[in-house]
A = this chain, B = another copy of it.
Amino acid sequence: MAAVRKAASMLNLSNMNPCVKEMQYAVRGPIVIRAAQLEKELKSGKSMPFEQVIRANIGDAHAMGQKPISFVREVISLSVSPNLMKTAPSCFTNDAIQRATEILENVGGQSMGSYTDSPGIVTVRNHVAEYISERDGYPASPDDIFVGTGASSCIKNIMKLCLTMDNESRPGFMIPVPQYPLYSACTAEFNAELISYYMDEHNNWTLNPEELERAYDEAKSRCVPKAICVINPGNPTGQNIPPENIVDIIKFAHKHDLLIMADEVYQTNIWGDDDQFVSFKKVLRSLGPEYDSQPLASFHSVSKGFMGECGLRGGYCEMTNFDPEVKVMLQKLISASLCSSTSGQVAISCMVKAPSGDAAELYKSETEGVLASLKERSILVHEKLNEIPGIVCNNLQGAMYAFPRIEIPKKAIELAESKGVTPDFFYCLELLENTGICVVPGSGFWQYPGTFHFRMTILPPMEQLVVFLEKLAKFHVEFREKYG
């Protein structure tokens, strides 16, 4: 009896952190958990209306069959086991040997097992700064760069700087809706206010300055807006924001004293023939010295782009126009977590600095191959989705996702509501149970009230993607008939 009494009074749902209870992370949420169950049942021989689960829920390229870039793996193996330079030199390019040597020279004891400086290995930060200068045509400094366990941890650390611990002035973060669920999860965890600003689905998900003002005005009575986040190219929405729209956002932020957080992890995933990625940093610098006080944090990652090295957990942040005293505080904050993984840091170096010797040709053909294949799939997904009656999908200008709007019949909406789930959740669960296709309900990303969407990745291999889109079309028609 004593045990039961105690169990109730110790750490439990009623006395645990309410913010953690509040958090949602749909990309790994209930639909995905159900997909894993179905996979297990399939393996155990249970008969299902499908032969395999197709996971299009998460931007996890290698899990969907994408191959790593050889150079990255060579450099990591050599950094971890430098003796291979002597025992198996023929297995490695000189470029890889040189890069691993260069990095090892700048870590303690020349070992990947040493803690690195908290902002990251100086060689890696130098490579990042060179990449950014080259990309934008404006100088970048390694002292403005810090690396992290994926871009996610960098984003969280920047958000942490903005928190207040005062219930009377809750910090607010302006987040684009639809958003990537990291942002809603973090604002929930940090007990901060998520200020939704809606992207304009009817204008290819552009950001309307008037909508920014509306969102800001409505929010300022209930919180202190601290920062505006922008995801470009968009996740889940796939737009590539044109420079003139970036100017609008910077001016808006400047006017209201907001930090800009530019989530630019898809900067090399650009699909439109006439499209080009333009960074917030470049646009900011082009606006002249009046904006030299406008702080901007920009994020990049090895998990996306052409590498897709999600499991290595490498990301970085460039801090532009940050107050030097705040940078000292950030340094202290990240010091308490010591450093991020050395293999992730090596991967960052390989992403931002291509080899130029004997590994150059293969690196080029592999990266171009990955990007060309993703582009082909993005075109197919966009085309096929729009062929399905009751589904509309904007152009996929960048990133790795489609976020189509779906019409859900009234009967299905009512049935979903009677089950206490959102209509798009109901749709996605039916889709999974009937076809094995695993996508994420739009509600997990938030969406304009009354609209319904789902997010799918463009990552399944071409032959699987074709089947996927056929099955989806068939399902959608049947769903409409069933509930129409």
Residues of A within 8 A of B (CB): 2-4, 6-7, 9-13, 16-21, 23-25, 27-28, 58, 60-66, 68, 73-74, 76-77, 80-81, 84, 87-88, 91, 107-109, 111-116, 118, 149-150, 152-153, 156, 160-165, 167, 181-182, 185-186, 189, 191, 226, 254, 257, 259, 289-295, 307-313, 322-323, 325-326, 329-330, 332-333, 335-344
Q: In the complex, are the beta carbons of A115 and B329 less than 8 A apart?
A: no
Q: Are B182 and A6 in contact, CB atoms less than 8 angstroms apart?
A: no
On whether the beta carbons of B65 and A109 are closer than 8 Å, the reply is yes
- In the bound assembly, the distance between CA atoms of A191 and B181 in angstroms comes to 25
Q: A63-B111, A161-B11 are in contact. Are A313 and B332 (CB under 8 A)?
A: no
Given contacts A12-B323, A84-B91, A323-B12, contact A309 B113 (CB under 8 A): yes
Which chain B residues border A77 with CB–CB below 8 Å?
A: 77, 80-81, 84
Extra contacts, 11 of them, besides A18-B164, A63-B111 (Cβ < 8 A), are A7-B323, A20-B163, A25-B335, A84-B88, A87-B88, A112-B312, A113-B310, A113-B311, A114-B310, A149-B341, A341-B341
Set of chain B residues within 8 Å of A12, measured between Cβ atoms? 323, 325-326
Supposing A20-B160, A295-B10, A341-B344 touch, asked if A60 and B254 sit within 8 A by C-beta, the answer is no
Interchain Cβ contacts under 8 Å between A and B, 15 examples: A13-B323, A16-B162, A18-B165, A21-B329, A28-B118, A62-B114, A73-B80, A76-B80, A77-B81, A84-B91, A107-B311, A112-B312, A149-B313, A150-B337, A310-B338
Q: Which one of B28, B76, B113, B291 contacts A307 once the chains associate, using CB atoms below 8 Å?
A: B113
Please indicate the chain B residues that have their CB under 8 angstroms from the CB of A111 in the complex: 62-63, 68, 311
Q: Are B4 and A312 in contact (CB under 8 A)?
A: no
- Across chains A and B, which 6 residue pairs bring their CB atoms closest together, nearest first? A63-B108, A62-B111, A88-B88, A341-B341, A185-B336, A311-B342
- The CA-CA distance from A309 to B343 in the complex, in Å, is 12
Give complex CA distance A167, B170 in Å. Answer: 13
Expressed in whole angstroms, the minimum distance between the Cβ of A95 and any Cβ of chain B is 15
Beta-carbon nearest neighbor of A165 in chain B = B191
* Residues of chain B contacted by A10 (CB below 8 angstroms): 257, 259, 293-295, 323
The interface residues of chain B lying within 8 Å CB-to-CB of A25 are 332, 335-336
Q: Which of B61, B294, B335 contacts A6 (CB 8 A)?
A: B294
Query: Given A7-B293, A74-B81, A326-B16, do A63 and B23 touch, yes or no (CB 8 Å)?
Result: no
- The chain B residue sitting closest to A169, CB to CB, is B15
Q: How many copies does the complex hold?
A: 2
Determine how close the nearest CB of chain B comes to the CB of A380; give it in whole angstroms.
21
* Nearest CB on B from A75, distance (A): 10
* CB-defined contacts of A63 to chain B, threshold 8 Å: 108-109, 111, 114-115
**B residues within 8 A CB of A149?**
149, 153, 313, 337, 340-341
Verify B333–A189 contact, CB threshold 8 A.
yes
Candidates B81, B189, B333; contact of A23 at CB < 8 Å? B333
Whether B342 and A295, one on each chain, are in contact in the complex, defined by CB atoms closer than 8 angstroms, is: no
A7 to B, closest residue via Cβ:
B293
Question: A312 touching B342 by the CB < 8 A rule?
Answer: yes
Chain B residues lying within 8 Å of A91, measured Cβ to Cβ, are 84, 87-88
A257 to B107, CA, bound (A): 45
Distance in Å: Cβ of A348 to nearest Cβ of chain B:
13
How far is A257 from B433 in the complex, measured between Cα atoms in Å? 43
A28: chain B residues at CB < 8 Å are: 118, 335, 338
Q: In the complex the two chains form, is A62's CB within 8 Å of B108's CB?
A: yes
Q: How far is the CB of A151 from chain B (nearest CB, A)?
A: 10
A68–B254 CA distance with the chains assembled, in angstroms:
50
Q: How far is the CA of A164 from the CA of B165 in the complex (A)?
A: 12
Taking the closest CB of chain B, its distance from the CB of A257, in whole angstroms, is: 5
Taking a contact as CB atoms under 8 Å apart, the answer to whether A343 and B312 are in contact is yes
CB distance from A150 to the nearest CB of B (A): 7
Q: Complex formed: what's the CA distance from A344 to B84 in Å?
A: 20
Closest B residue, CB atoms, query A66: B109
